[in-house]
Amino acid sequence: MTQKNSIAIIGGGLAGLATANALASFGMKADVYETAPALGEIGAGVNTSPQANKALQAIGLGEKLAAVADSSAGTHTCNMQTGEFLEFADRNKAAARYGAPYYTFHRADLMDAIASGLDPATIHLGHRLTGIEERGDRVALTFANGANIEADIVIGADGVRSVIRPALYGDDNPTYTGQMVWRALLKGSDIPSDLLDPAGHIEWVGPGCHLNAYYLRGHDVVNIVTQEDTAKWVAEGWSTPGDPDEMRASFPNPEPRLKKLLSVVTECSKWGLFTRPLNDNWGRGRIQLIGDAAHAMLPNAGQGACQAFEDSYIVARWLAAEPDPVKAFENFRRVRIKRVHAVQRLSIARARLKHMRDPVAQKAMIAAQQAGGAGSSNWVWAFDPVADWDKEPEVPTIEAEI
């Protein structure tokens, strides 16, 4: 029997659940359809910058998030092979400047906090989307478990491997970037107390690769996440087991602190980074894509989840303000696409900066970035999605393409 629902969200990850919360905060009920049999996120770190936290606070999640977040003091950037200090990004100053904190989360804790604000009856697990059809003022959805749903509107938050996207645009699959990620979670007690001093977060940059290490859950966990240029094909997926020795070999001649940190790794995972050329294929009619389904980006500016949270607030605000959902989605795209494309370009440019093979030129460019401008995060964090949800923001010109 076909059920009828007003708003269907496809995907129960961070973007989908945040959007359900945002809609609820404006008096709109949404049903979330998730492929997995249970909500959950693989253990990893997620950073949320001030403008994203403003959006999350505005939909009533501020206290829940503060209870499980680590307030990041900042990031020390060092040369991977010499240990030379290059930059300190003071996030406490950023929080004061932009009026909201910079947080670091264990991904599972963030997921639980966002999910806890929703009625469990609105979350439908074990629903893998297999078909979508536009029927005038309704959208029909078919799932692998035999369920058939009709909704007034559909919000696609189903990630970089979105099922909705190719249904709308045909062969629009993400492509491998030639970059891969290693990730490991370590016990904080296994890490010498001075290894991540003074701020608890170090980024090492070097030729063709970089590595971040920082505390989660106080000092209980150390998250390691890396990125490297590679000629090898590496499949997408967060749970592909990796070889710790292969991971260590990816960082030749590491400075002593980094070498010690890598020596502690006994388990790791790896995956390839996939994205697609920047385009405006974000939805049509009564179907709107958000998050990675609309604009998958490299992680180098720390904005993947943040831009999804901006999406969540702003799409809900437009649906609350505009009775015609088609017009609401058109306006959402009008105010979002230009900004998100600039953030995507920033992420690409940051990868190139972090992987420069000339350490002298790299040091000079990092210093220039620290001074502000298009290559810094100032313009990203300064945006206020709550006050300026209906405006097309000014963005810098950044020359970077996939």
| Dihedral-angle region of residue 40 (phi above 0 means left; psi in -120 to 50 means alpha; beta otherwise) | left
Tokens of 143: 């799932």
CA distance 19 to 312: 4
Give the helix, strand, coil percentages of the chain, each rounded to 5.
35, 25, 35
* Selection from 73, 30, 69 nearest residue 53 by Cα: 69
CA distance 140 to 148: 7
* Residue in the structure block whose two tokens are 């960082």: 251
CB 262 within 8 A of CB 190: no
Listed in order, strand segments (DSSP E) in 49-102 are: 70-71, 74-79, 85-90
- Among this protein's residues, is 313 annotated catalytic? no
What phi, psi does 98 have (nearest 5°)?
-105, -5
* Residue in the structure block whose two tokens are 């989840």: 305
In sign, the C-alpha dihedral spanning 176, 157, 55, 65 is negative
Packing angle of the helix pair 50-58, 304-321 (nearest 10 deg): 40
Q: What is the dihedral of CA 56, 58, 62, 65, to 10 degrees?
A: -10
CA distance 156 to 287: 7
List CB contacts of 328: < 8 A, sequence separation 6 or more: 315, 318, 319, 321, 322
CA distance 208 to 251: 9
CA distance 213 to 225: 7
Tokens of 81: 């092979």
CA distance 398 to 344: 10
Active-site annotation holder among 98, 102, 103, 214: 214
Question: Which residues are known catalytic residues?
Answer: 214
